[in-house]
Amino acid sequence: MKRYGNLFERVVEYGNLEQAFHNAARHKTRRSEVIEYGSHLEANLLQLQRELITGTYRTSEYKTFIIYEPKERKIFKLPFRDRVVHWAIMQVIEPIWLSNFTRDTYSCIRGRGIHPLLYKLRRDLKADPEGTRYCLKIDVRKFYPSIDHEIMKQVIRRKLKDARLLALLDGIVDSAENGVPIGNYLSQFFANLYLSELDHIMKEEMGIRYYYRFADDIVLLDGNKEKLHGTLVFINHYLNNERALSIKPNYQVFPVESRGVNYVGYVTFHDYCLARKQNKKNLCREVAKLRKRGMSDEEIRIKASSRLGFMQHCNSIYLLKTLNMKTFSEVTNSSGNLTGDKYHIDDILNREIHLKGFEIKASKYKGECLIIQYDIYEQVKDKTGALLTDDDGSPKMDWVEHITFTGSEALIKQLKDVVLDEPCSAKIIKQPIGDRGKCFYKITDPD
């Protein structure tokens, strides 16, 4: 395995530290600690650079607090200057560590959040029902607090050999008394790296075709129940002896058809996907609370858009009805000034949209032109067009406004008599005609 050196100089380079400040400050620019640090940015970065170069930098004292989501978690928070250091390190070594992860590793990796994992799981279940008849689902007991410092350092050394960078990383690993602290930017990558060898063993030595890991939550699918039980024994032995970890006693081997795969917030079957019961409860409670405040249905849809967006990735038509989010067939148009970035109609086929308005007017070329305004759930961009991510590196998702121009006579005819006085949930599909490959566009209710 190739090991990388000569990295420390790149980490402490002033330009890298400056970029680390901007990354660490993203979406936090109004916080007092960020404003204070940025008000004397050059002096602060030069001081940080001197401490790193001379080896006098030490991780600051953690502040801790408890959150419940729903289980209790102890969160560790560092001063802003330490988060700049973490970003400076990751900007240099993230590509090296990413190359070590298999495609089955998710969580805190750009482009590999909850929903890419869900889509892959759904595709695999649908494509191979026989090969995914049974599921093994396991969870590591107290994963982050149980990561062994000495083992973690050895894992890091399998890819890195720069002595000064290793000393810096050792100090960060040892900054917490036990395990790696939840809340540190680097901890997310430490955790993924800690189990990356297991990912390779599962895929390359054990030949597990359907394997998924989201942090410490692991799911395996196979057509052979006994094979999964045997794999469970191997994983348990590996975690005990190679990583000083243990599996929670609530591990399960079960038929997928009997109760679905309860994973990353959804319950997925071979032919459909539902939201996890707790997520549905949370959505309904929020809607009920907002209704008690006297909010209109449109205001509720805006306030609950985050939870609603989560539900768009499963078969959630009844949840939409709970929110009074009407489907296209339930509305029978008010046109206005339509705004939003343009999408070609083929880019939004078979995706749920929230139809907000439309205009039909004479085309500059021939016939009539239809302009559709809608929101679609996708990764958010900043003013420069750069894709945004959350603090954990996963894509920042939300409902984004767009418009589409089309000369489709079928869509124009379908919408001409529609009065759209509020947003509705819809989907545009291509409807085939006969057996000659011809088709037309059609607006339908979402799945």
Q: Work out the mean pLDDT of the chain and round it to a whole number.
A: 88
Lowest mean pLDDT among 21-25, 122-126, 146-150, 386-390: 386-390
At 318-336, the pLDDT tens digits run: 776 766 655 555 554 444 5
Mean pLDDT of the region 174-190: 90
3-state helix, strand, coil in the chain (%, to 5): 40, 25, 35
Is the omega angle on the peptide bond into residue 181 within 30 degrees of 0, that is, cis? Answer: no
Quick one: tokens of 165? Answer: 């960078």
Q: Which of 132, 342, 148 is nearest to 220 (CA)?
A: 132
- Please list, in sequence order, all residues whose beta carbon lies within 8 angstroms of the beta carbon of residue 321, skipping any fewer than 6 positions away: none
**320, 307 in Cβ contact below 8 A?**
no
Q: Which of 143, 109, 194 is nearest to 392 (CA)?
A: 109
**221, 135 in Cβ contact below 8 A?**
yes
Q: Rounded CA gap, 169 and 402, in Å?
A: 44
Residue bearing the bigger pLDDT, 27 or 81: 81
At 190-233, the pLDDT tens digits run: 999 999 999 999 999 999 999 999 999 999 999 999 999 999 99
Mean pLDDT of the region 20-30: 89
Residue bearing the bigger pLDDT, 6 or 422: 6
Mean pLDDT of the region 299-315: 81
Sign of CA dihedral 213, 214, 217, 219: negative
Give the model's confidence band at 356: pLDDT under 50 very low, under 70 low, under 90 confident, else very high. confident
Lowest mean pLDDT among 61-75, 274-288, 330-344: 330-344
- Phi and psi at residue 271, to the nearest 5°: -115, -10
Q: Rounded CA gap, 125 and 129, in Å?
A: 6
pLDDT of residue 382: 78
User: What is the 8-class DSSP label of residue 207?
Assistant: -
Sign of CA dihedral 219, 220, 223, 227: negative
Q: Which of 447, 213, 222 is nearest to 352 (CA)?
A: 447
Give the model's confidence band at 37: pLDDT under 50 very low, under 70 low, under 90 confident, else very high. very high
- Please list, in sequence order, all residues whose beta carbon lies within 8 angstroms of the beta carbon of residue 434, skipping any fewer than 6 positions away: none
C-alpha of 417 from chain center: 40
**150, 255 in Cβ contact below 8 A?**
no
pLDDT of residue 433: 79
pLDDT of residue 333: 46
Q: Which of 92, 96, 122 is nearest to 196 (CA)?
A: 96
Q: Which of 387, 404, 431, 399 is nearest to 346 (CA)?
A: 404
Mean pLDDT of the region 372-381: 87
pLDDT of residue 335: 45
Residue bearing the bigger pLDDT, 388 or 133: 133
Q: Rounded CA gap, 273 and 261, in Å?
A: 9
pLDDT of residue 284: 84
Q: Rounded CA gap, 341 and 268, in Å?
A: 33
Residue 55 has pLDDT above 90, yes or no: yes
Residue 290 has pLDDT above 70, yes or no: yes
Lowest mean pLDDT among 47-56, 92-101, 407-416, 428-437: 428-437
At 82-140, the pLDDT tens digits run: 999 999 999 999 989 888 899 999 988 888 888 899 999 999 999 999 999 999 999 99
pLDDT of residue 332: 42
At 139-173, the pLDDT tens digits run: 999 999 999 999 999 999 999 999 999 999 999 99
